[in-house]
Chain A
Amino acid sequence: MIEVKDLHKAFGEVKAVDGVSFTAHDGEITGLLGPNGAGKTTTLRMLYTLMAPDSGQVLVDGIDAAVDPVAVRRVLGVLPDARGLYKRLTARENIEYFAQLHGVETTLMHQRREKLADALEMRDILDRRTEGFSQGQRVKTAIARALVHDPKNVILDEPTNGLDVMSTRSMRAFLKSMKTEGRCVLFSSHIMQEVAALCDRIVVIAHGRVVADEAPEALRAQTGETNLEDAFVKLIGSAEGLAA
């Protein structure tokens, strides 16, 4: 479970995150929806302790990120906005590097890697060096290395960004399977249909603030719009930076 309480973060004059609070529960998919530049990535970066908030609190499984950031990272699986791989290492070596950094013991690491390779349908690319990988192959490898320590909580920053239709479909299926495994899945997106189709709970962010935090149906009811797209536009104030 990830609890976010009144996060603030400013870069100079710019208030990137200006009071964000929400809770992502286990066994649910929580979507962080907002236009480009709304503060989604900055919020997520504070969750996985890459940045420290100016004020506010992050709790992951009850652990305070400000008090013990290493313990927080131990229970998190993260697919950041930056998903660079080591191009002179194979996909397998990339995954094993992160497993070792998590202290996963060798036999368990092999089991998990095989399971992930099947789930992500990447068995054919495991022993290739990642230089020259397609966007889809890169994302698969990055997700596998983020989940190889079997984290209870999973944070993904725009996981379908740059993927083709087929890869996007299998990504969505993968997110759902993580939910049925009882994990807490939190992902950000600026694509409304994706969020609507997947999420149990939608947190809408605009200008660094949460403007709505509801189940999809409730969101429709709250805004009085039957169409989700119209509901989002009404919440955010403009259609700028959103994609259907």
Chain B
Amino acid sequence: MKSSLVVFLKEVRENLRDRRTVINTFVTGPLIAPLIFVLAFQFGINSMLEKAEKPLPVSVIGAANAPDLIASLRQLGMDVKPAIANPEAAVRAQDVNVVMRVPADYGKAWKTGEPAQVELIYDASQRDSDQAADRLRDMLKTVSGRTASLRLLARGLSPALIQPIAVADRDQSTPQSRAGIMFSMLPYFFIIGIFIGGMALAIDTTAGERERQSLEPLFANPVPRWQILLGKLGATSVFAMATVLLSIIAFSIAGHFLPNDKLGMKLDIGVRFTILTMVVMLPLGVLLACLQTLVAAFAKSYREAQTYLSLLMFVPAIPTFVLAFLPYKAQAWMYAVPVMGQQTAILRLLRGDPVSAANILLCVGCTTLGALIVWAVTERIYRSERLAISA
């Protein structure tokens, strides 16, 4: 065991002296994801919010046919633009988002109490156009409803007659749970952190050491290979977990830069979240360190190992995308699957949902079991004669 510690300390010292590894583990790995996040949110949400508040520009053809309607729509936030010659072509070319056409017989229909038609020209396949048409349709419904009520009152009837069902929304989402939808990709970034943080060491301790021809002299020492492997995996796991921890801290700081008040939701990454996340991630860190070392052991060179490990990084993305796009209800068995368990637990913690101690235990226990299995396989590979022989 003392030998494992010697190997561990040497690997940590040596890799702390490698500038590229240090930058990857302590800067690029933890920072890149929160940076992308904040930027994406700032642009995405701000533009969405701005649109909702800004006056809606609409080209109106035949505005003179319905002066009262236009006045009402103006009050509701429509910015009336002059008529254009070929509205259909202009919408298709995305020159304008939506055009309203008021036919010449609008006034006649209105006066006789017939449904008076207006036409909306838009392109539902364009997001901007579709949203503008939705907003305009809402405004028209408001005007229409108001007029209907007035007409009923003028005839001595209650406006309630034409509203047989009243819908009342009772949204059960909390600020955290709404943030959870937005942040369902977050666990993946933490898992990626394990990969980036451990990658350099996983390669360095196998393919790299063989390429530099230092594995053979190392194995000539009176230390069983599994003890050497244990020290190396320890160093790899520590670097991986350091990246995860820094990543969590970076995200908790990034949370302050999101427009929480506008969103009506908050990213609450506190001490409890950090500790529980580290607890569920620790066995996964060891599992992935073993897996990376195992894969790197098959590579003939440093470069080849890099290629393999970059591909390996996509594997944990699969459950992430499944969970992100198919909103399955969290079920107990999910905690038992490595990666998916961490994913589920972190998501629920992030949303402020309860995660029972039993679920955490199941997640940690099963991932530890997985880590032990991958360790056993890696240890077998490490014992093979071919591993040490360079070229």
> Residues 202-233 of chain B: 1 if any A CB is under 8 Å from the residue's CB, otherwise 0?
00000001001111111111111000000000
Determine whether the beta carbon of B385 is less than 8 Å from that of A84.
no
Asked if A244 is an interface residue, CB under 8 A from chain B, the answer is no
Residue A195 interfacial (CB < 8 Å): no
A50 touches B213 (CB 8 A): no
Contacting residues, chain A, for B218 (C-beta < 8 A): 101
**B272 proximal to A (CB < 8 A):** no
A103 within 8 A of partner (CB):
yes
**A-B interface pairs (CB < 8 A), number:** 80
Residues of chain A within 8 A (CB-CB) of B213 are: 82-84
Which residues in chain A, 39-97, are within 8 Å of chain B measured between CB atoms?
48, 50-52, 70-71, 73-74, 76, 78-89, 93, 97
Neighbour of B214 across the interface among A70, A86, A93, A103, CB < 8 A: A86
**A161 at interface, CB cutoff 8 A:** no
Residues from chain B with a CB closer than 8 A to the CB of A79 are 217
- Give Cα A48–Cα B221 distance, bound, in whole angstroms: 9
A142 interfacial contact with B, CB 8 Å: yes
In the assembly, what is the distance between CA of A80 and CA of B210, in Å? 13
Measured between beta carbons, the chain A residues less than 8 angstroms from B388 are 50
For residue A56, give the distance in angstroms from its CB to the closest CB of chain B. 16
Closest residue of B by beta carbon distance from A42: B389
A113 interface residue per 8 A CB criterion? no
The number of chain A residues with a CB under 8 A from chain B is: 31
Interface string of A94-138 (1 = CB under 8 A from B): 000110111100000000000000000000000000000000000
In the assembled complex, which residues on chain A have CB atoms less than 8 Å from the CB atom of B220?
A: 48, 50, 73, 76, 78, 80, 146
Which one, B3, B18, B216, contacts A88 given CB within 8 A?
B18
CB proximity of B380 to chain A, nearest CB, Å: 15
Is B10 among interface residues, defined by CB-CB distance under 8 A?
A: yes
Asked whether B217 lies within 8 Å of A97 as measured between CB atoms, the reply is: no
Tell me whether B2 is interfacial, beta carbon within 8 Å: yes
Q: Is A8 an interface residue (CB 8 A)?
A: no
User: B209 — nearest CB in chain A belongs to which residue?
Assistant: A84
A145 at the interface (CB under 8 A from B): yes
- Which chain B residue has the least Cβ–Cβ distance from A98? B221
A145 with B217, Cβ < 8 A, contacts A87-B212, A101-B6 known: yes
B170: which A residues are within 8 A, CB to CB? none
- Is there contact, CB below 8 Å, between B6 and A70? no
| Cβ distance A143 to chain B, nearest Cβ, rounded Å | 11
Q: Are A51 and B216 in contact (CB under 8 A)?
A: no
Min CB distance, B389 to chain A, in Å?
Answer: 8
Which interface class (under 10, 10 to 19, 20 to 34, 35 or more) fits B?
Answer: 20 to 34
Q: Which residue of A lies closest to B221 (CB)?
A: A101
Which single residue of chain B is at the shortest CB-CB distance from A70? B222
Chain B at the A interface: SS class: helix
Residues on B with C-beta less than 8 A from A80 are 216-217, 220
**Which of A73, A142, A145 gathers the greatest number of chain B CB atoms within 10 Å?**
A73
Smallest Cβ distance from A58 to chain B, in angstroms? 14
Question: Which residues on B sit within 8 Å (CB–CB) of A87?
Answer: 212
CB-CB nearest in chain B for A77 = B220
Indicate whether B171 reaches chain A with its CB closer than 8 angstroms.
no
User: Which B residues are in CB contact (< 8 Å) with A102?
Assistant: 221-222
Closest to A81 in B: B216
Contact flags (1/0) for B372-390 with A, using CB distance below 8 Å? Answer: 0000000000000100111
Complex Cα distance, B388 from A52, in Å, reads 13
A78 to B385, Cβ gap below 8 A? no
Chain B residue at minimal CB-CB distance from A41: B389
Given A84-B213, A97-B10: A74 touches B222 (CB 8 Å cut-off): yes
A100→B221 CA distance, assembly (Å): 10
CB neighbours of B221 from chain A (8 A): 73, 98, 101-102
Asked whether B14 lies within 8 Å of A89 as measured between CB atoms, the reply is: yes
The answer on a CB contact under 8 Å between B214 and A84 is: yes
Chain B residues near A97 (CB, 8 Å)?
6, 10
Alpha-carbon separation in the docked complex, A98 to B8 (Å): 13
Report which residue of A76, A83, A88, A102 has the largest number of chain B beta carbons within 10 angstroms of its beta carbon: A88
**Pair A73/B222 contact, Cβ less than 8 Å:** yes
CA of A82 to CA of B217 in the docked complex: distance in angstroms?
Answer: 7
Smallest distance from the beta carbon of A168 to chain B beta carbons, Å?
A: 21
8 contacts between A and B (CB under 8 A): A73-B220, A80-B217, A101-B7, A101-B221, A101-B222, A101-B223, A102-B222, A103-B2
- Identify the 9 closest CB pairs spanning chains A and B, nearest first: A84-B213, A84-B214, A82-B213, A74-B222, A78-B220, A73-B222, A84-B212, A82-B216, A101-B221
Further 17 A-B residue pairs, CB within 8 A, beyond A81-B216, A98-B217: A50-B219, A51-B385, A70-B223, A73-B221, A73-B222, A78-B220, A80-B217, A82-B213, A82-B214, A82-B216, A84-B212, A84-B390, A86-B14, A88-B14, A88-B17, A93-B10, A103-B2
Interface residues of A (CB under 8 A from B): 48, 50-52, 70-71, 73-74, 76, 78-89, 93, 97-98, 100-103, 142, 145-146
